Amino acid sequence: MTTYWAEHAWLDTHVEPGVALDVTADGRIGAVRKGVEAPPPGAVVLRGLTLPGLANAHSHAFHRALRSTVQVGSGTFWTWREVMYQVAAKLDPDTYYTLARAVYAEMTLAGITAVGEFHYLHHAPGGTPYANPNAMGEALIAAARDAGLRITLLDTAYLSSGFGAAPDHHQLRFSDGTADAWAERASALKAGDGVRIGAAVHSVRAVPAGQLGTVAAWAQERDAPLHVHLSEQTGENDACRAAHGCTPARLLSDHGVLGPRTTGVHNTHLTAGDIALIGDSGTGTCMCPTTERDLADGIGPAADLQRRGSTLSLGSDSHAVIDLLEEARAMELNERLRTRTRGHWTAAALLRAATADGHAALGWDDAGALEAGLHADFTTIALDSVRTTGVLPRLGAEAAVFAATASDVRHTVVGGRHVVRDGAHELVPDVPSALEEAIAALRE
């Protein structure tokens, strides 16, 4: 048994001072003891505010190599995509592992303990499978393990350049040809300690309508999470109406993709009918505000979706920044700008999106809260940095969401293992150098 003593801990509804977290040998919380005014003998001391580990519900690890490059000049999502393709073309299993390990280490430094990796970079350039058809996905799994992070690998079906058209030359390495071939390859992926396997439909553009049901059935048979980029761009909606006479949400609903295990990523440009389809089916919504604003995508109707029944989670997506506290803050502040009113979500509600609800969207229902029996995954935010000092400890949740940044993370614990200690990564000693070297290799 290891005991962590939290100076202050967020217990879902409030901040509690002096909380001892007893961790069992299998990496779960054995007990949560309140009113422990001083660290017990031998306890690991966590000064600041301890939260459940943050869940990054939507990641494309290799997009981290685009940071700053895609901020030069102007353009659109579609011009950004061309730069993304150039980076994707340079990756192989070894360079993907090296980059992803550094990116996942950056995530743990930001308090993230679980990631949903929306993975579509499957094959060698030109579309030829590697000798191990899942070499790229397994590289991501290994990278997460070696960075100390839980991963849900959302293996993604990406079969078309747009509504049945063949993949273009950039996209050949994304495609398995058919949904049946995708399912056969994805079925060989193995879950394990800290690893879960889910599925994804890249978008209604990239999976022909007649094959959507195959992906949905694969996920249903395994009770696995299913994610999909949904109505991220108005151009996608227009093309879907031209091809099928309906919105993407309606198309997904008609083919059995929506439902309680499914999360729509972005859900930006929705009709009232779309919101009803998503909410009434229990489909979740993953908002990625820093990417949505970086790509000028727009502000999605998160509040309306939640009111209709869609559970909210958060993701860093293209990694313009990796900071789940900023994603939570941005969701509220975006809604304030859109409506010119304040207070759409409490700090507690935003933290739940970043913790318990994000984990649930990734199939980790046994993580995301400081409760006995759950995985011992938590992170500690400093309450004495230049951003947070002077805050009343009982308002620590408000400070975390509305003032703190990833730079204020002092500790990250995953499965009871201290992965980040006093702001330093225990498994990847020099994360900036690891990132620099991995990204520089893709420029050669």
Q: How far is CA 289 from the centre of its chain?
A: 12
CA-to-CA dists, residue 299 to 212, 269, 329, 443, angstroms: 27, 8, 14, 33
415 in Cβ contact with 188 (< 8 Å): no
φ, ψ of residue 324 in degrees (nearest 5):
-70, -25
Catalytic residues: 266, 317
CA-to-CA dists, residue 134 to 89, 97, 99, 125, angstroms: 17, 13, 17, 14
Q: Which residues contact 42 (CB under 8 A, 6 or more apart)?
A: 3
Please tell me the distance from the alpha carbon of residue 274 to that of residue 227, in angstroms, as a whole number.
16
Q: Which residues pair with 59 in a beta bridge?
A: 117, 317
DSSP-derived secondary structure for 73-99: S---HHHHHHHHHHHHTT--HHHHHHH
Please tell me the distance from the alpha carbon of residue 143 to that of residue 287, in angstroms, as a whole number.
25
Question: Phi-psi bin for 214: left (phi > 0), alpha (psi -120 to 50), beta?
Answer: alpha
97, amino acid identity:
Y
Structure tokens at 293: 């604003």
